Structure 1
Amino acid sequence: MSADRLDVIIFGASGFTGKYTVFEAVTVLGGLRWGIAGRNREKLEGVLKEMGAKAKKDLSQVPIFIADTSDEASLLEMARKCRIVVNTAGPYRFHGEKVVKACIESGTHHVDVSGEPQYMETMQLKYDQRAKEKGVYVVSACGFDSIPADMGVVFVEKNFDGVVNSVETFLESGMKEGATGSGSGGSAGLNYGTWESAVYGLAHSDELRGIRQQLFPLRLPKFYPVLRPRPLIFRSTEVDKVCLPFPGSDRSVVMRSQRFLYDQDKKRPVQMQAYVGFPSWLAAGAVILFASIFGLLSKFKIGRTLLLKYPGLFSGGLASRSGPSEQSMERTYFRMTFKATGWPKGDRLAEGSDQYTEPPTKSLMVRVSGMNPGYGATCVALLSTAITILRESEKMPNNGGVLAPAAAFSRTSLISELEKHDHGMKFEILANK
């Protein structure tokens, strides 16, 4: 790789997530050579000016590159200028593949914040082998979807002192007291790009079965006891919240990592179910209502048009074209609580595919938490994965490939890197029995 390459280029830097990634880069990428890229030079210059003022640092000398997903030559030129592309330009269903392809052909690593299972699994299906041949790592879901869940399971296994059978996650989010609209049910909201990704992801969710049949033609062996999903709506004693199944990509990402670690290392895979908590039955019921309308409309072209035209109406005010305010983002917190069960160290079996005959006797509760999950913790996590690839690739598998986060980073110091920063994430043990 040419010595005159920058370390990092942030692509899509003039978008909502992109500009906050630029802000976090000032501190997270300290000591590295980085630049930004996008379609419009004037907007990119504006981002450097705005985020430089926010960070109290002159960013006028940060290199700018013009690249557009409609111009594959420009993507190749961008990718050849750096060691890793930090891609914030979604929805990835429409814009991601060309960037991935350009990076692989240029010998450049790639990380993004996609929460779109169809995109992520299609990239693995189409480009994993080529990425290995080129010595390139392509890692998606490197933001709030799904670093807390995937690296949280890594943290669980490192601290379990035994064999983990299953993990349940319980996500809570709200606003610190004193914020406008504060309270345990508050939220900073979503930018329009995230909403658009969700609309098209659900609309095409039936694609996943076919992708997975090609990606994983052989099923994993069944492990017992089986972790059954909980009811559609229930009160969790673990977090004292009314919970629903979590609709994001966390479970699919975790299971991709677990599948990889079983295939690669014959490690017994951890079963996982994900839930999200609400302060009351009424709040959970309202979410079910909005989710039902969203799911129905997303299946039809006219419905998708309505969802995209009126994001605030159909999200209960959660999504907007302007995105959340900085004040609400900075006062939004998240907590993801993990309940793990399994067997103590002395009960370890000889082979990862062996079965236990006795029920689990050991449990562990841990938590991953932080502030500003969508546009603070997400941006720090994304940049931290980039740093980890640049500094610790020798601890990563196969000299390259298209991987989920835990598959890529389970043996690295990514968790420690995440804990260093103001908008990072805290990993802690709550109870060990």
Structure 2
Amino acid sequence: MANEQKVKFEENQNLEFDITRKRLYDIVVLGASGYTGKYVVRVVAHLSKKYNFSWAVAGRNKNLLQSVLNSIYESIDGYKDKIIDIIPVDLKDFKCVQLMTKITSVVINCVGPYYLYGEIVVKSCVSQGTHYVDVTGESLFMDKMAYMYNNEAEKNGSIIVNALGMESVPADLGVDYLFQKFNGNLTSIDIYMKLGSKSSKFNTDVKMHDGTWKSIIYHLATGNERLRIRNLLDKSIGMTTRPKPNISKILHKQEISKRSQWCLPMPEPDQAVIARSLNYSKIVEKRTINCEVRNYIVIGSLIMAVVNLFLCVLLSCLVLIPPLKTLFVNFPKIFSLGIASEQGPSEKNNENSFVSFTFIGKGDISIKNTNKQNDSTNTIILKIKASNPGYGFASKAVVLGAVTLLQDNIPKGGVLTPASAFKNTNYLKRLIEHEAMDIELLSNSINLKNHTD
């Protein structure tokens, strides 16, 4: 896809280029030496042949980046004699970041927490008309980017897509899928996310990288700022309603996979992302949509549900105390009780993990007969599953997002949600083709009210 362009990499981290020509690289992986970045690089290396794109890696530490590439040269067929370029980038230097964004078509940003390090990359991409994708689940960052940079991104033709990770891709695209398959007008969708392990053995191993833990802490500690930015965003995009908490479902039982299990609300980030997607459909695409979507997490037992609810409330309160927040950020393994660490979860733990989403959609449909029009209710149930969701699935999802931006015709720029950007593309098809996730429509039943043949 990319054609030749004059580029010179100097030891002093300067780049020389002729910007009048097309971009040198189709994709640049920023933060390729990080925990998530290593997963992403392997997916990029595997898919570059199939989709015929050029790529490079970028980051602060050249030696670490070279080590990642050496692993690719040794382990992936066809790379033994290749040389993948390394672009030195300092995220504290906007001009340095711009040098990178000027010479690539799409940036895959793997540097988190995005609350701290993401805006400079988005700003640079938007200014250069460069596309951007990431795997963030940080609602404040996503809302802030949409509020601050959407208009300029539309003007420059830059497409910014956040949240191409484990949570929002299945949830956001799943809701759009339900709208396509539902024979009527959807009025409500409840989404139940369940995390689990294929192994029946209980273990206390690390479950997440400390970068993910830090993102959670910053999210909980910035509630007031999040509300302020969200109000500004809603006003700017004409959003008048967001789903209010359903008090009756703060702690409730729901039948999932033929078992009644205890569940808790989980409005961030998926509910916020989906709300933007639905608003985009109404305001930009002029579709008639009056549907509330609420998200929940499946816990299982009542005891574990109560414990999780208590810990979540406690943590949300403690991080509001600045000294405690600093301790949580600086010592993740201690204060996460061993759940998070700098090394991240083992490969075995990742491969054993899975996530499933159960969508329960309800709505109205009209059935006409010779005498009158009769009302009925329609229920649709959808199941989406993914293995190794935190890092394996997320890597495929973000890379295939970049591929879709390169290959499919997406005429409108902007800061978009996964569904808004990819609903009319081959993105979902690619996810299924590359075994990133399975999608199954379980039922689409009609319950008639006052209907006579």
TM-score between the two structures when normalised by the length of structure 2: 0.86
Cα shift readout 1:130-156 (whole Å, capped 9, x = no counterpart): 111111101101111311110111111
Distance 1:113 1:129, change over 3 A: same
C-alpha distance in 1 between matches for 2:130 and 2:231: 29
Alignment counterpart, residue 277 of structure 1, candidates 298, 302, 305: 298
Cα shift readout 1:233-283 (whole Å, capped 9, x = no counterpart): 111124432111125300000001111111112321431110011221122
C-alpha distance in 1 between matches for 2:56 and 2:163: 22
- Does 2:440 correspond to 1:428? yes
Cα shift readout 1:206-252 (whole Å, capped 9, x = no counterpart): 1122222222228656799x994542211112443211112530000
5 Å matches for 1:162-241? 162-177=184-199, 181=202, 189-217=207-235, 220=239, 228=246, 230-239=248-257, 240-241=260-261
C-alpha distance in 1 between matches for 2:239 and 2:118: 29
Alignment counterpart, residue 400 of structure 1, candidates 413, 421, 426: 413
Aligned residue number for residue 384 of structure 1: 400
Q: Which runs of 5+ in 2 are unaligned?
A: 1-19, 446-453
Alignment counterpart, residue 157 of structure 1, candidates 179, 182, 187: 179
Q: Say if 1:188 and 1:332, in contact at 8 Å, map to a contact too.
A: no
Q: Secondary structure at the match of 2:202?
A: coil
TM-score between the two structures when normalised by the length of structure 1: 0.89
Cα shift readout 1:16-65 (whole Å, capped 9, x = no counterpart): 11111001112233321111100011000111123444545536511110
Matched residue type, 1:263: I
Q: Say if 2:263 and 2:305, in contact at 8 Å, map to a contact too.
A: yes
Distance 1:243 1:203, change over 3 A: same
Q: RMSD value over aligned CA atoms?
A: 2.5
Distance 1:54 1:246, change over 3 A: farther
Q: Say if 1:290 and 1:316, in contact at 8 Å, map to a contact too.
A: no
* Cα offset, 1:430, TM superposition: 1.1
Aligned residue number for residue 246 of structure 1: 266
Q: Say if 1:7 and 1:34, in contact at 8 Å, map to a contact too.
A: yes
Distance 1:307 1:124, change over 3 A: same
Alignment counterpart, residue 260 of structure 1, candidates 280, 295, 304: 280
Distance 1:229 1:405, change over 3 A: farther
Cα shift readout 1:64-97 (whole Å, capped 9, x = no counterpart): 1011211111111111121000111111111111
Q: Which runs of 5+ in 1 are unaligned?
A: 348-356
Q: Say if 2:161 and 2:417, in contact at 8 Å, map to a contact too.
A: yes
Q: Secondary structure at the match of 1:111?
A: strand
C-alpha distance in 2 between matches for 1:359 and 1:212: 37
Q: Say if 2:205 and 2:338, in contact at 8 Å, map to a contact too.
A: no
Aligned residue number for residue 105 of structure 1: 127
Figure out how many residues of one structure are paired with residues of the other and give that number: 415
Per chain length, whose mean CA-contact separation is higher, i.e. which structure has more relative contact order (CA < 8 Å, sep 6+)? 1
C-alpha distance in 2 between matches for 1:165 and 1:126: 31
* Cα offset, 1:334, TM superposition: 0.8
Q: Say if 1:227 and 1:272, in contact at 8 Å, map to a contact too.
A: no
Matched residue type, 1:246: M
5 Å matches for 1:49-128? 49-55=70-76, 58=79, 61-128=83-150
Distance 1:298 1:387, change over 3 A: same
C-alpha distance in 2 between matches for 1:358 and 1:141: 41
